[in-house]
Structure 1
Amino acid sequence: MRIFLEKAYELSQEWGCIPVVITGDLNSLPQSAMYQFLASSKLHIQQHDRRQVSGQIFPSEYAESQSRHNRMTSFHASHSKATAEATNAPTFPTLRLPSLSIHSRDTSHKPVGQPSTLVSPLMNRWTDEEIMLATGSRLSVLRHHLKLCSAYAGVPGTPEVRDKIGEPLTTSYHSLFTGTVDYIWHTSDLVPVRVLETLPIRSLKKTGGLPCKKWGSDHLAVACELAFADEED
């Protein structure tokens, strides 16, 4: 992400400080360190668990999705084996989600799939090499030069489809993940006029999960209308 933002900034400068719009699946939740980095232009990476910068994996959510996925895998494996035996067709190995050990500051929660004695605060520290790769220097502060704003956070919405920050409640909905990972970020010389609201979760539940017959992707569309900010402001 750092390199991507650096390239976007260089391109903007090369063309006379033109506005920048960054959109797509950024694989990060609104509560994540990565979102904080995009919004504030700075992140002290050593204050965050290096495995949870995106905010996508939490012990309780992973355990639930892991169990559900493995139950489905076991069913399909049994069905495939029975079919193969009946037709003499070859069988293939099935994928099972691994157990995940996650360190939590809340000692009342044990890590998923591993005894608590294996979890140590030292396990998730950043190495010097990782700091260099993440920040581009030996400093542990990650920075970018774009003053970014979220288009959705800049347009009022309703609690039915928006979170407290103003982002959509969910842009991806399926059996292993439900949450927001798709965004539209723009520089401060642009102003969001309106946005395309995503579907309420109650409507998504009726689909049984995405993709479905009426929606060919596991992500919902995000879109907005932008205007140039008044230079006098």
Structure 2
Amino acid sequence: MLLSRAHVLSEKWGGIPVVLAGDFNSTPDSAMYEFLSTSELNITAHDKRYISGQDRLQFSLYALPRLLKCSWTSEELKNASGNPKCTLLKHPLELRSSYASVKGNVQTRCPYGEPVATTYHLKFVGTVDYLWYSTGLVPTRVLDMLPMATLKATGGLPSKEIGSDHLALVSEFMFAECREKHPQNPTEITVTEEREDNLIQS
């Protein structure tokens, strides 16, 4: 598992901080996001069909009993946790999202503090990409995303101006101990991103 492997590598190098970045195929209001951000998840409390959050609207159209919607078989529990009797998943990393940790523009952020959207295509528009960091790091600023109106004006991604169906996330970090020593000057790392005017500082 990715999180366990990241923890092993961190411990191998003396407990160094970890940054996990990419497309996690999960929305900010999903069970998967809860698992990553809180380090644990009772999977039986969530509907197994939209753990990622992306299919929530589709399945909410069906008025099925709660027991049926959330029921997990022993085989499904084993696939999810490795143990047919395990319902509480845990991971060893204390992760936080860099975008949720740095206050941003209300036009480009959702209620969870994440970008309103990191991908936009025919089947989905929303946020599924994240920059997670562990204890020992502090995000000092992030590259702001596009407002929803601007994103929709592209007609979908990829476009002529944006060559991917996902927007690039950028975050600047510093070690927590450095911030404690220099509280008045936390952003000593040089930013080379050309769109520096869109960087939001914590």
**Alignment TM-score, normalising by the size of structure 2:** 0.83
2:30 aligned to 29, 32, 37, which one?
32
Q: CA deviation at 1:133?
A: 2.1
RMSD value over aligned CA atoms? 1.7
Instruction: Give the aligned partner of residue 23 of structure 1.
Output: 21
Instruction: Give the aligned partner of residue 185 of structure 1.
Output: 132
Moved over 3 A (4+): none
**Separation in 2 of the partners of 1:232 and 1:151?**
16
What amino acid is aligned across from residue 226 of structure 1 in structure 2? F
Instruction: Give the aligned partner of residue 209 of structure 1.
Output: 156
**Separation in 1 of the partners of 2:113 and 2:70?**
31
Q: CA deviation at 1:123?
A: 5.4
Judged with a 3 Å threshold, the aligned counterparts in structure 2 of structure 1 residues 230 and 209 are, in CA distance, closer, same or farther, namely: same
What amino acid is aligned across from residue 160 of structure 1 in structure 2? Q
Judged with a 3 Å threshold, the aligned counterparts in structure 2 of structure 1 residues 165 and 220 are, in CA distance, closer, same or farther, namely: same
Q: CA deviation at 1:172?
A: 0.5
2:73 aligned to 127, 146, 152, which one?
127
Instruction: Give the aligned partner of residue 194 of structure 1.
Output: 141
Q: CA deviation at 1:228?
A: 0.3
Deviation per CA, 1:59-86: give whole Å up to 9, x if none. 3xx4xxxxxxxxxxxxxxxxxxxxxxxx
Q: CA deviation at 1:173?
A: 1.0
Tell me if structure 1 keeps the 8 A contact 2:119–2:126: yes
Judged with a 3 Å threshold, the aligned counterparts in structure 2 of structure 1 residues 209 and 17 are, in CA distance, closer, same or farther, namely: same
Q: Could you say what secondary structure the match of 1:11 adopts? A: helix
Equivalenced residues, count: 178
**Separation in 2 of the partners of 1:196 and 1:231?**
22
Instruction: Give the aligned partner of residue 141 of structure 1.
Output: 88
Q: CA deviation at 1:231?
A: 7.5
**Alignment TM-score, normalising by the size of structure 1:** 0.72
Judged with a 3 Å threshold, the aligned counterparts in structure 2 of structure 1 residues 232 and 166 are, in CA distance, closer, same or farther, namely: closer
Instruction: Give the aligned partner of residue 40 of structure 2.
Output: 42
**Separation in 2 of the partners of 1:156 and 1:169?**
13
**Separation in 2 of the partners of 1:232 and 1:172?**
33
Give me the identity figure in percent.
Answer: 48
Q: Could you say what secondary structure the match of 1:216 adopts? A: coil
Unaligned runs of 5+ in 1: 63-101, 105-109
Instruction: Give the aligned partner of residue 151 of structure 1.
Output: 98
* 1:57 has 2:4 as partner: no
Instruction: Give the aligned partner of residue 167 of structure 2.
Output: 220
Unaligned runs of 5+ in 2: 181-202
